[in-house]
Amino acid sequence: MQGNLQVYSCGGLGINIGKELITDDLVGRNELGFAKIDVAFIDTSMSNLKGVNPESTHVIEEVDGSGKVRSHNVEEISRQVRAILRKFEPKDINVVVSSGGGGSGSVFAPLIVSELLQQKKPVIVILVGSCNSIAELNNTISTIKSYESISSRTGQPIPLAYFQNSQEKTRSEINSTIRRAILMYAILFSRQNDELDSQDLQNFLYYNNIAKFPPRLVDIVVAENVEFCIAGGDIITLVSINKQNDHSELNTLNIPEARFTGYVQNEVLQITPLKDSFPLHYAICHGGIAQTVKALQSKLSDYEAATRSAIVSDRVVSKTDAVHDSGLIL
């Protein structure tokens, strides 16, 4: 049996990631060791959807983008979320991808996540924040807070993988990291890892079924070294996928509240180009997101202070200029 993974690519950034998944030939493949990946493209504008199969898209008619104003189309987007999930049905795991800084994807994505949680469908969020302007910073902070608010309203955890646009990392590098993360989720939810069943994965994501930590917006981290997972914060739940006969114990003081272990099949190791990546560790952590928001808010304060301190130059039109009723200076 093969698992199924649904990607909801929201807004311009999400759509670009979805297109690259298709270019990489990762969509629709029945490959041993991986969940089958399907992609839905969702936006308020056709401008990002050139070359995409119309059957894989949902675009709000008579709307042409949000212009980075998140409130612009929120009511119409909200009305269409259930129709989107009827058209593109949730799968074993659902990955919702968007930017935080835009005006459409950052609204579509949280509302889709909210509806998925209400339908008791497992979900992982991939969010890319932006510091390119005050508007994008504000949007990113508000998008992260929206996920925290939705988690509180639904009483369910939301695992979030956060990436930050920066001068140190190009857009293509971040996109490549995101595509790899989706591939890692496809391994985790392949339904082909020995000794790792659906209830294990359910309790990994919905850690409040088994752990004392309350439902929150939390980090999800994937790494080949469990110590890297710890960098994301304190581990709540952990899944390790090992090679057969690898029964090694965790060599860390940061012991999770619950750990699940699966074993990749030897047949998969013989054919996958990722055979040297095992063991793989998937961690749900807390603490990292709060630090991210704190850093974003600090940067926003710096930007706003710089704007307030800017010297406003005098108008070029003076009182002595002859101004015609049309506005022309004659």
Tokens read off for 40: 């839905």
pLDDT at position 128, please? Answer: 96
**What per-residue confidence (pLDDT) applies to 49?**
85
* Distant-in-sequence, close-in-space partners of 135: CB < 8 Å, separation ≥ 6: 68, 101
How many CA atoms are closer than 13 Å to the CA of 84, on its beta-carbon side? 30
Q: Are 44 and 61 in contact (CB under 8 A)?
A: no
Radius of gyration of the chain (CA): 22
112 touches 84 (CB < 8 A)? yes
Instruction: Name residue 41's beta-bridge partners.
Output: 9, 57
What kind of architecture, by CATH, is found in domain 4-192?
Answer: 3-Layer(aba) Sandwich (3.40)
Per residue in 194-223, pLDDT (tens digit) is: 999 999 999 999 999 999 999 999 999 998
Q: Which two tokens stand for residue 255?
A: 């012991």
The Cα 132–Cα 121 span in angstroms is 34
For residue 63, give Cα distances in angstroms to 13, 31, 76, 102: 18, 39, 9, 15
Residue 251 CB neighbours (<10 A): 7
In this predicted model, what pLDDT tens digit does every residue of 166-205 receive, in sequence order? 777 888 899 999 999 999 999 999 999 999 999 999 999 9
Rounded CA gap, 278 and 281, in Å?
9
pLDDT tens, residue by residue, 16-43: 999 999 998 889 888 889 999 999 999 9
Please give the structure tokens belonging to residue 226.
């469990």
pLDDT of residue 115: 96
Number of H helices, E strands in the chain: 9, 10
The tokens for 277 are: 């990546």
Token pair 């990546």: residue: 277
What is the mean pLDDT for each group of 10 consecutive residues in the chain (330 residues)? 95 94 89 94 86 90 58 79 96 96 88 96 95 88 95 97 85 92 95 94 95 94 73 82 76 77 86 78 92 90 73 76 80
The pTM score is: 0.90
pLDDT value of residue 61 = 75
Show me where the domains of the chain are located.
4-192, 220-290
Q: Give SS3 for 188.
A: helix
Give the C-alpha separation, 295 to 302, whole Å.
Answer: 11
Residue 246 has what pLDDT? 72
Q: 8 has which bridge partners? A: 40, 96
